Structure 1
């Protein structure tokens, strides 16, 4: 039972509210049987079923049949097409906010893990989305029953049910649908604009190699050279802003070992560089890295045969 003044929960036999001290006029069994409360409280053998109907409101027969209340044991798995197709919106519509928040949290935690492991999550998220739809389609009715049961327990005492309060807790909510839309938007914003920039690896441009250049572009592209060939290479800075940078060449021999390095600089308004060098005298595979502000902003591989 709840205090009419402060809303605190109290025992049905309490004379004063344990929270605010206000006197309590507790209804007795006789009170509940009075005609003026007949439509608010019921205590016959079908009282719980009627309480469930009060909680559900519209489409009560549908859920009562799905739960198979008459068997005495609630059916846990039964299909709900609305829950399958509408998902989060159905949860909001039926005021199942705790399940809604829990599923959004699952999606966010999954995104954090995928971003941290640098895994493309498009297929995984699609799978989780479909799995969520199937889960709600199959178990949504039972989850709804558990929520209705919670409300009924809160608003009953000794098989006496306050149907008006139960009906207020349950029913449908258009605002709940808007809450679901809001939660989806929050998830998208957090995932796309917070998690993605935090975990995303810096973009690395590709270095192009060739035998010649024309008008700032590689004219005769190739990644295979002879010792002492003149190698032309070009790249863009990931920020499209020049300045000082370092060129590092490593030889690939199972592991990367430093072969050569030097520093260079271009005007800040240069978005990229076209330059040349001579091929190493040693045959093998090489990787060139362009480092700016202690980060690799471009890299590419070539070989000497």
Structure 2
């Protein structure tokens, strides 16, 4: 097996689709390329599309912000965990039913848009790393390091949830 799982190309033939595969990780590469709407073995598809097609992600739906941390999407994690908490902070008279509906919508939307968010992050990171003008070997090494998954990210997600809960409790006890 070649470097970074790239077996059918030599280093002079690596394209953005290959970079995306290195960034995602070999074990999930084919799954995510399909979810992004890319053909796996189409040699004419060497550039990344402008955006990913809308697709469902069960892991994001069931795992919520834990999935975001696992996929190293820390900015998205903070933004989305803050957005789900805002209605409870802004409107002090939200009923349990309304809170349940808001939370269910949050989970549904996350399951629906997570692949698009992940593709945007992948594309952003690939573009940023390519602009560093590293050797191709170093570029692929950085892509592999910055991409993939992170168990530490799950702990960051849990920490974010604890902070959100603390803010919620403090706001309801002392401010609202």
Does TM, normalized by the shorter one, top 0.5? Answer: yes
Q: Which has the higher contact order (CA 8 A, sep 6+)?
A: 2
Query: 2:174 — aligned with what?
Result: 198
- Verify: 1:78 aligned to 2:55, yes or no: yes
Query: 1:63 — aligned with what?
Result: 32
Query: 2:100 — aligned with what?
Result: 126
Structure of higher CA gyration radius: 1
Consecutive unaligned residues in structure 2, runs of 5 or more: 40-44
- Verify: 1:178 aligned to 2:155, yes or no: yes
TM-score norm. by structure 1 comes to: 0.47
Query: 1:208 — aligned with what?
Result: none
Q: Specify whether residues 43 and 79 from structure 1 end up closer, same or farther in structure 2 by C-alpha distance, changes over 3 A only.
A: farther
Deviation at 1:128, TM superposition (A): 2.0
In structure 2, distance between residues paired with 1:179 and 1:121: 29
In structure 2, distance between residues paired with 1:48 and 1:91: 23
Query: 1:217 — aligned with what?
Result: none
In the alignment, is the contact (CA less than 8 A) between 1:111 and 1:121 conserved in 2? no
Deviation at 1:188, TM superposition (A): 1.0
In structure 1, distance between residues paired with 2:90 and 2:11: 50
Match of 1:163 among 129, 140, 143: 140
SS in 1 for 2:114: helix
Number of aligned pairs? 156
- Verify: 1:51 aligned to 2:19, yes or no: yes
In structure 2, distance between residues paired with 1:129 and 1:42: 46
TM-score norm. by structure 2 comes to: 0.79
Q: Specify whether residues 48 and 79 from structure 1 end up closer, same or farther in structure 2 by C-alpha distance, changes over 3 A only.
A: same
Q: Which one has a larger percent helix, Structure 1 or Structure 2?
A: 2
Q: Which one has a larger percent strand, Structure 1 or Structure 2?
A: 1
Consecutive unaligned residues in structure 1, runs of 5 or more: 1-35, 201-305
